[in-house]
Structure 1
Amino acid sequence: MKKLATKIALLFALFVSTANAQSYKMTDIGVKAEIDAVNIEIQFYTPSIVRVLKYPQGNVCTKQSLSVIKKLEKVAFRTKKVGDNLVLTSKSLSVSINMNSGQVSFNSGNQLPLFKEKAGTTSFTVMNDAGEKSYTVSQSFELEKDEEIYGLGQQQQGKMSKRNVSLKMVQGNLDDYIPFFQSVKGYGLFWDNYSPTQFDDNKEGTTFKSEVGDCIDYYFMNGGNADGVIACMRDLTGQAPMFPLWTYGFWQSRERYKTQDELVDVVKKYRELNVPLDGIIQDWRYWGNNYLWNAMEFLNPGFQDPQKMVDDVHALNAHMIISIWSSFGPMTKQFRELEKMNALFNFKTWPESGSEKFPVNKDYPSGVKVYDAYNPKARDLYWKYLNNGIFKLGMDGWWMDSTEPDHLDEKSTDFDNKTYLGSFRKVRNAYPLMTVGGVYQHQREVTSDKRVFILTRSAFAGQQRYGANTWSGDVTASWETLKNQISAGLNFSLSAIPNWNSDIGGFFLQKFKNPLENPDYRELQVRWMEFGAFCPMMRSHGEGYPREIYQFGKKGNPTYDAIEKYINLRYSLLPYIYSTSWQVTANQSSMMRALVMDFAADKQAINLNDEFMFGKSLLVSPVTKPMYWKNVAKGNDSVKVEDFSSVKTKEVYLPKGTDWYDFWTGEKVNGGQTIQKETPLDIIPLYVKAGSILLVGPKVQYATEKKWNSLEIRIYEGANGEFTLYEDENDNYNYEKGIYSTILFSWNDKQKSLTIHKRNGKFPGMLESRSFNIVIVSPAQGHGGELSTTPDKLVTYDGNKVVVNF
């Protein structure tokens, strides 16, 4: 009898009814509750990450996430009732459900309020999704009045904060939508839905409303700060693998190289000029006409021997990637096989015409169709042709264009197209994740000797796990566009995807007449190149006019010299950049860092849209306005001419809480102030944080030309600091097996000593002994105000600990 009473008591504890007939049941991972005909599930994934599911009573939610790959951990949490609230608390996070309203709110582990739903805003509206009953789902949240949020992917608005923003989130050429934001308070929210979604932040609340959803499904994460939030998001959706060292060199492309000889000659020209280059890219139509669109074969007569082309590029110590698309022309082998599989979508995409002439002649429709990347067999077929047609030639990577994909003359019925996973409407925004992921996963199955490198136009949550660098789309060249790239890239990085770049110089040039001779455009090209030197990928590209350095003159010309200077600067920073990329992979860091990441308490810094950190040491403030041309009368007209008669300046804010060093002069400046920095054509404001240890590499023509056996170690006094030099075989996936080495440098500012710690790890080809040229940075005397890099001490290092005192 006693045992029966105990059993009844236990059952009562697991299923509790409230006065309003609301109920809940505890689970191993959280709680299930029924409140006002809505099922609510709280699931702890980690002590810092919790999933919230809501769905109408009587339904079952069995959704398998496309973005989230993390398995549930065993999380210790405690539960208690506090008034009308059921509170679940782990060591890092407290989740509360109001058992009357169903409102969910979140506090830190020590009960500091972080975030909450807006009561009464959970909404399920029945809708017909291509013949299937589903719901339009919506949930609103409450933010503090002055609370800033960031992320949501990439948009071209020029704004950092996403407060008072309205976004129709459907993937496009210029916009990548990721339904994830993070707050300056140190938490993040991932709305796990792939259908067209409306995001609104206004005085009524902060709302996600998705066209299709079997349930409301979101993840709340308490990271403590921006890096912590990103670490949580990558823990959920996948870590970012390493790129090869060569991908961090300089890249050249154009729309398009029309023959293989033209492409190889560009690499040869860079080598003749002694201008560094690591990557060359072949754009579209190497396959021939539009009916053969994306055939993944070299059917264009200008590419008579593609194996020779790849071999020639490699013989010049460069690498090559090539354009591939998410669609196929009707005369391709892929099209015919996919059609039999019912794996082609029926909506308009690019190109519309079979004719290559412009304007588009719709009397001759191309018949090109987008393939169903949600279908695993379709992804298998895609790789089969890619592998047999191109990868086996030794191609080094992929330029996956139109991965959103292009959807022209958009109609509501287009979203009724059936995919392998339901209607196109249901999964539309996840298309880039699926198509990019298919190529990554298949290449990994083929070989581990070559790291996957994908340049792609679109992205979705979780895509960082697929070895992809997203570019900002076919942007139009203008000064405003250049400035907008900065906040676009920063918010993309704040969405937990660390690899991003833009077409240096802008893709479309219609705003500029004779751009290569136009002083305004030439200056824009230089300033964009300066910005590009501090992005995760440095790549010059565009249509209409070629963009190679020699198109802008020759040595001695200010434009040419400035471009060459920043390409060389990029290469000198490769030890810093590659080591930073390791921090991205190993420690969930970010390379391109919004100021809110490192200076969240500085309200003057966090919404600046023209400054950022590159790694944790370098503050970059690109010039985004023209300075060095003027109009001169010429008959009845006026023409633009270069004017370098006076040096202009740019206003720069230096965040507080640290001192800063001018990278160019070594001058030390106090933080927390706005200064005017002189910006001749070849200078952008670039500052180094006090306490930084900056590693500078040798002058090279390509990334792996010289070993790092004599690095310059620059010390920026004023604070303690650390930097870890990371090295490996520069390609392949052996680093995943622990085959790499690290050397920790630490600076003690009070004692004025640098400790070079014992090397950890090893790899084939590793330097057993090397020298470090150590420089204590200060303004030079008699150097015209330029930085002196004369070594203060020369140290021989054999892998054992060395302490250098100053």
Structure 2
Amino acid sequence: MEATTDSRPSAGAAARPEAIVERGDIRFTVLTPRLVRLEWNAEGRFRDGRTQVVVHRALDVPPFGLAEDDRFIEIDTGMLRLRYEKGTGRFAAGNLAILVRREDGPVTWNPGDAQKANLGGTYRTLDRYDGDTWQDGSTLPLEDGLIARDGWHVVDDTQGFGLDDDGWVEERPAGDRQDLYFFGYGRDYRAALADFAAIAGPQPIPPRFVFGYWWSRYWNYSDEELRALGARFEKERIPLDVLVLDMDWHTTPGLSLRAGYEQKDIFGEASGWTGYTFNRSLFPEPGAFMRWAHGQNLRVTLNLHPASGVMPHEENYEAMAKALSWDTSTHAPIPFEGTSPRYVRALFDTILKPLEAQGVDFWWLDWQQWPESKAHPGLSNTWWLNHVFFTEMQRDGDRRGLIYHRWGGLGNHRYPIGFSGDSVISWTSLAYQPHFTAMASNVLYGYWSHDIGGHTFHKHIPRPERHLDPELYARWMQLGVFSPVLRTHSAKEASLHKEPWHFGPPYGDAIFAAIRLRYQLAPYIYAAARQAYDTGVSIVQPMYYPWPEHDEAYSHPAQYMFGNDILVAPVTTPSGAAAAAPFPVWLPPGKWYSRDGAEAFDGGGMVERSYTLEEIPIFVRPGSVIPLYPEGMRDLASVPDTLILQVFPGAQGATELYDDDGASQGYQRGEFARTRVRNRHGDRAHRVHIDRMEGQYEGRPAKRAYVVEFLDAGIPESVEVNGEALPYSAEPKPRSWSFDAAWLCIRVDLGPVSVDEAQDVVARFVPEHAAPKGLLHRMRRAADAVRYLKQVWGDISALPDDVDLAGQAARVLAYAVDEGDDEGRAERFSAAVRAFEKRYAGLAASVDATPIDDAFKRAFADRLGR
């Protein structure tokens, strides 16, 4: 279906005439087989322009039946049957009914019916919430979502403000009226979201750098401190894409909030939060600082609290006043009014664009003042500021719009991304955020950015006792990997350090691994962002989207689908005294594989397992092909020349690689490319076919180096690319295959190949040389357990040699594969596997028979998973 964003002309806001049934004071518009607009106006006047929520109605008209007599109008789309009694005026239970046909039986809606099982939407902020509970004990007042187990939903746009051709606010129509959108979808939730996206606009794709790591801290950073911070990230080889500067970047007049006072502006609002002039004691040369940041491929965003208007101390106060013909003789603040075209134009032209010229890439809006516009009561300031700032950026050349602000209500999905505010640092908050993020997909708000690690401590915790639990932070970072945006942030407390190098093993190791994994997953995430734009289905998806018929999909809200192929259940409970945290996961029916592909699970029930700090419950659909970037990336400013295709076990599967320039709005004009990858796995051969790249965009590569990884593999008899046999190499190199014993995978390096030519990769096997199921899990648990024993027990020389050998099983297998002739490689591998399995089976007993402390023995067994 066609869709439009706010930056496009408003032609298309009116529905096609053939979709409309109008009779006097009522009008019905059939938009899709599942979506009908219902209008009643006492004077027979209807609106066709854009509103805050609905921006496009000129959809392809679906076939529908119309039956009418002197008394009734009946419209039947196949999915819906609408019946209205003519001449009875306002829609009510007695004159209008819509039947929704569902697989489990029809349901009838009448105006005024209350939903019984709405699946939730989102809320403006998580400020001061511990999970979903505020400091006074009240519960987060979530808004309704677009979908419900009832099978229908109604969006009431009667009171929605209009948008004119310039995207500016229009008053609500006067008079007695109703303007309703009825969605009837049964269990087809994704279809409901697609229908809403068709009329309300798609989720824009953010610039590619958004999906990297954001560093943010509420701290009065100086230029020198931020340069030192950047150098440390470089030294530690930690990738980074965005630098966030909180309020202290700007000056504040007189006695500010930081001094413990509240200087009020002309509206009685605290003016210490508003500012537009760099604090030169922190940033002597702001332009030079931002040139340095851009030289490091860092994007810069600054915090704005615009409520106090423009104060007389600002550097560009005079320019702003001149643009508005404002009398500066009294040195009075220029009051804020976001719905004034003159004010907003002057603000951008004289205040914000000069800062952007210095290097500000986008704005962090932090509106926390009066909720509604003073000029347009009922218009949310949060919603309106999101609209104004995003569309202004869209109009400025061809760059993609991007803001960073709170949720303002339906229609705000067009203005990513979200800032969820200052959540409490606790395991409860961590446990709630997966559910909160997934629910937001029910209103297409697919880009929440949370304060990873939490923002502030419980108010009842004494300051000397406030410290960040490293296990909690490591687990929160793992959630961040599988979130729309990975951004750490915290309150202004000296004890709240979230720099990865502040954490020793094993927590620091887990944090580093999480960030690296995020960057490896970037091509998968970016393709999921394109899918969200095309379909309305966000990156983070509740389990009930693909499995709506299963009650378990609704009763396990802490797990979700990340894109189409990956199921994630981030660990949100502490391990306590144990070495691993127990965390049950519901797996939907069918086969599932662990993240490394080495373990197979039968779905349709609970998987009861414990997870060490290094482990994340990640499950992948069989046959999936997951695109990855190589390790070692520093940022997402450019796309690597090499792409890894991780191929999971399963009879067949497919994926589509997605590419565009990562920065412009060209993707909306068809400037992008897709590459289809298909996977087929039989008993003796595993084939991956990479199609030629289809589509064009600026910067499209002529060549790409593909590395195909067959997971959970044994030693193949041969590997072929386009019918040509490749040689084995102990070290990965182009036009060869190697075996990675640490992942039990065959790695086929195609080298640079033309993207305009298809590539066919085939690995041929002898079934008896396949790796035993679960081998990699056992190898890793053995390595972890032996490493632990060496750390806590000074001398393990009394242990049998098999203990140390079991701990380095991957190295032993690598030697078996690499040492010797090609003919015996598979047999040597199988023999080494059998030897490890025998050692592993006796590990717990070997350690138990020694004089090592019983507590260490139990911890050793925990790490083995026994």
Q: TM-score, normalised by structure 2?
A: 0.70
Task: Please list every run of at least 4 consecutive aligned residues from structure 1 whose deviation after the TM superposition is greater than 6 angstroms.
Answer: 109-112, 154-157, 173-177, 333-344, 367-370, 514-520, 783-786
The unaligned stretches of length 5 or more in structure 2 are: 1-16, 89-93, 162-171, 257-270, 327-331, 716-738, 764-866
The unaligned stretches of length 5 or more in structure 1 are: 1-26, 119-139, 160-164, 168-172, 197-209, 345-366, 409-414, 629-642
Match of 1:199 in 2: none
Pairing of 1:485-500 with structure 2 (within 5 A)? 485-500=433-448
Match of 1:310 in 2: 290
Match of 2:532 in 1: 584
Deviation at 1:285, TM superposition (A): 3.3
Match of 1:524 in 2: 472
- Aligned to 2:586, which of 653, 678, 687? 653
Q: Does 1:113 align with 2:106?
A: yes
Partner Cα distance (1:338, 1:88) in 2 = 56
Structure with greater contact order relative to length (CA < 8 Å, sep ≥ 6): 1
Match of 1:122 in 2: none
Q: Is the 8 A contact 2:193 2:442 kept in 1?
A: yes
Match of 2:179 in 1: 217
Q: Is the 8 A contact 1:507 1:542 kept in 2?
A: yes
Q: Does 1:805 align with 2:752?
A: no
Q: Does 1:323 align with 2:271?
A: no
Query: 3-state SS of the aligned residue for 2:657?
Result: strand
Pairing of 1:22-41 with structure 2 (within 5 A)? 29-32=19-22, 39-41=25-27
Pairing of 1:356-367 with structure 2 (within 5 A)? none
Partner Cα distance (2:379, 2:604) in 1 = 46
Query: 3-state SS of the aligned residue for 1:494?
Result: helix
Q: How many residues align?
A: 672
Deviation at 1:179, TM superposition (A): 5.5
Gap change, CA 1:341 and 1:479, over 3 Å in 2: farther
- Aligned to 1:457, which of 406, 409, 413? 406
Partner Cα distance (1:295, 1:574) in 2 = 35
Pairing of 1:760-779 with structure 2 (within 5 A)? 760-778=694-712
Residue identity opposite 2:408 in structure 1:
A
Q: Is the 8 A contact 2:309 2:335 kept in 1?
A: no
Query: 3-state SS of the aligned residue for 1:718?
Result: coil
Partner Cα distance (1:516, 1:691) in 2 = 52
Partner Cα distance (1:241, 1:115) in 2 = 35
**1:142-177 deviation line (CA, Å, top 9, x unaligned):** 55x7x55343556869x9xxxxx9x9xxxxx99796
Query: 3-state SS of the aligned residue for 1:96?
Result: strand
Deviation at 1:539, TM superposition (A): 0.1
Match of 1:437 in 2: 387
- Aligned to 1:286, which of 234, 249, 254? 249
Gap change, CA 1:175 and 1:372, over 3 Å in 2: farther
Q: Does 1:388 align with 2:336?
A: no
Match of 2:76 in 1: 89
Q: Does 1:685 align with 2:647?
A: no
Query: 3-state SS of the aligned residue for 1:586?
Result: helix
Deviation at 1:765, TM superposition (A): 3.6
Deviation at 1:582, TM superposition (A): 1.7
Partner Cα distance (2:402, 2:101) in 1 = 39
Residue identity opposite 1:756 in structure 2:
I
Match of 2:119 in 1: 149
Q: Does 1:534 align with 2:482?
A: yes
- Aligned to 2:154, which of 189, 192, 195? 189
Query: 3-state SS of the aligned residue for 1:711?
Result: strand
Q: Is the 8 A contact 1:512 1:518 kept in 2?
A: no
Partner Cα distance (2:458, 2:206) in 1 = 34
Residue identity opposite 1:318 in structure 2:
L
Q: Is the 8 A contact 1:509 1:544 kept in 2?
A: no
Partner Cα distance (1:650, 1:179) in 2 = 29
Match of 2:260 in 1: none
Partner Cα distance (1:572, 1:397) in 2 = 25
Residue identity opposite 2:113 in structure 1:
F
Residue identity opposite 1:687 in structure 2:
F
Deviation at 1:647, TM superposition (A): 2.5
Q: Is the 8 A contact 1:263 1:282 kept in 2?
A: no
Q: Does 1:596 align with 2:576?
A: no
Deviation at 1:62, TM superposition (A): 4.7
Q: Is the 8 A contact 1:242 1:582 kept in 2?
A: yes
Q: Is the 8 A contact 2:594 2:619 kept in 1?
A: yes
- Aligned to 1:730, which of 662, 687, 702? 662
Q: Is the 8 A contact 2:126 2:422 kept in 1?
A: no
Query: 3-state SS of the aligned residue for 1:619?
Result: strand
Query: 3-state SS of the aligned residue for 1:498?
Result: coil
Partner Cα distance (1:707, 1:32) in 2 = 53
Partner Cα distance (2:333, 2:54) in 1 = 32
Pairing of 1:131-146 with structure 2 (within 5 A)? 140-141=112-113, 143=115
Pairing of 1:278-677 with structure 2 (within 5 A)? 278-289=241-252, 290=256, 291=271, 293-329=273-309, 331-332=311-312, 371-402=336-367, 405-407=368-370, 418-419=374-375, 422=376, 424=377, 426-428=378-380, 431-448=381-398, 450-466=399-415, 468-510=416-458, 521-545=469-493, 549-550=498-499, 553=502, 556-628=504-576, 646-656=579-589, 658-664=590-596, 666-677=598-609
Deviation at 1:516, TM superposition (A): 11
Match of 2:691 in 1: 757
Match of 1:700 in 2: 632
Deviation at 1:396, TM superposition (A): 1.6
* Bigger shift: residues 436-445 or 303-312: 436-445
Match of 2:862 in 1: none
Deviation at 1:102, TM superposition (A): 1.8
Q: Is the 8 A contact 2:524 2:628 kept in 1?
A: yes
Match of 2:807 in 1: none
Residue identity opposite 2:607 in structure 1:
I
Deviation at 1:517, TM superposition (A): 8.8
**1:772-803 deviation line (CA, Å, top 9, x unaligned):** 2222222789x999643441574764221223
Partner Cα distance (2:423, 2:40) in 1 = 39
Q: Larger % of helix: which?
A: 2
Query: 3-state SS of the aligned residue for 1:804?
Result: strand
Q: Larger % of strand: which?
A: 1
Q: Is the 8 A contact 1:155 1:488 kept in 2?
A: no
Q: CA RMSD in A?
A: 4.1
Partner Cα distance (2:741, 2:466) in 1 = 32
Q: Does 1:791 align with 2:747?
A: yes
Partner Cα distance (1:543, 1:187) in 2 = 42
Partner Cα distance (2:608, 2:493) in 1 = 35
